[in-house]
Amino acid sequence: MSSIEEFLQRTRDRDITLADTTPNSIAMSTRIRLARNVADYRFPKWLTEQEELEIERQVRHALMDTYQELNHFALSDIAPLARHVLVEKHLISPHFMKQKSGDLLVSEDETMSIMVNEEDHLRIQCLATGLQLQETYERASKVDQVLEQQVTYAFDEKLGYLTSCPTNVGTGLRASVMLHLPALTMTNRMNIIAQTMLRLGIVVRGIYGEGSNSLGNIYQVSNQVTLGKSEVTILTELQEVVEKVIESELQARQALVKNSALMMEDQVYRALGVLTHARILTSDEAATNLSRLRLGIDMKLIDLPIKAVNQCISCMQPGFLQYYDGQTLPANDRDILRAKLVRETLQQAI
């Protein structure tokens, strides 16, 4: 069994949420998360150390025959910087990152991760590129079924799956799609769209989910209601809303080109100039300019491989910078290293 250091070295250039290189890929990735708890145990916050270990053993035993390729890591063995990288790869939650104990099971291709003893006993998560809600749900559901053959879940006939947070009771399903929406942001329409979606039971969050900010005009759109709706209904409603948002983004892009073509082209090439020549880049500045560059590629204003932009988005994150540099860095040193990596990546692609 490999260590977390070996795993992160093998997967250094891999981020499933940034792997889609399809032209005009507004939907960058899909995530399905299922919250489950083991019957006859208290929720994780009140578990004893012995009870935590019992649940972790149950889960590993239930999964390892079917999913032998899973990497297993004890959270207590994962250093802070490595945890930060796992959050940036969307393999663990910011909440899990801060815990003292827990278990992580993750596939080699990073399309599946299971957090044990997070906010709930089980957080089953599957990731995919682009907009693939149904396909991704089916993979998560298969993992869920394998577990349920050997683990008895906390389930109520009227309420459904019982969870530590009332907002997850019912299906325990949280489906989300990561969207790149620069045109809607530039035209100041995101607030109105977010308010409209909220009335439909859909919530808009930042790139790392609840409590995070939008970085580089990337938003996470997910269902808010898990009780009183079937899994099929939740997925269908989210699919419909996401498709409408994508359509709105495309229309906003067309309007920008029609009304402000030269300004758009100027912004794209200014972004390229900054990213290929700057010696110091903050997270916000890098994200903003990479978003403009990605938009320019989508709109055929500039000829660059989208893969290079995705690599820059991945390597500009604070955790990545520090982990692969092998040390904790002050903000200014991170900004210098970020500029160097982004500059080198793009110059190789030009």
Report whether 174 belongs to an annotated binding site.
yes
Contact (Cβ atoms closer than 8 angstroms) between residue 212 and residue 219: no
Nearest to 115 by CA among 107, 126, 105: 105
Tokens linked to 74: 């004890």
Is 207 labelled a binding residue? yes
Sheet holding 112-116, edge to edge: 71-74, 103-106, 112-116, 122-129, 27-36, 173-180, 218-223, 202-205
328 is known to lie in a ligand binding site: no
Is 209 annotated among the ligand-binding residues?
Answer: yes
Look-up: residue for tokens 């209904």? 233
Using CA atoms, how far residue 301 sits from 172, 251, 265, 276, 297, in Å, is: 43, 17, 6, 17, 6
Burial 207-221 (b: 16+ CB within 10 A, else e): bbbeeeebbbbbbbb
343 is an annotated ligand-binding site residue: no
Question: To the nearest 10°, the Cα dihedral for 111, 115, 116, 120?
Answer: -120
In whole angstroms, give the CA distance from residue 165 to residue 120.
8
Residue 273 assigned ligand-binding role: no
176 is in an annotated binding site: yes
Single-letter amino acid, residue 128: A
User: Contact, 45 vs 95, CB < 8 A?
Assistant: no
Query: Does 2 appear as a known binding residue?
Result: no
Q: Is 95 annotated as a binding residue?
A: no
The helix (run of H) or strand (run of E) holding residue 293 is: helix 283-298
Ligand-binding annotation for 253, yes or no, is: no
29 is in an annotated binding site: yes
- Bridge partners, residue 110, by sequence: none
The one-letter amino acid code at 32 reads I
Find out whether 90 is annotated in a ligand binding site.
yes
316 CB-contact burial (10 Å; exposed 0-12 / middle 13-18 / buried 19+) = buried
Would you list which residues are annotated within the binding site for ATP? Answer: 29-33, 90, 123, 174-178, 205-210
Would you list which residues are annotated within the binding site? Answer: 29-33, 90, 123, 174-178, 205-210
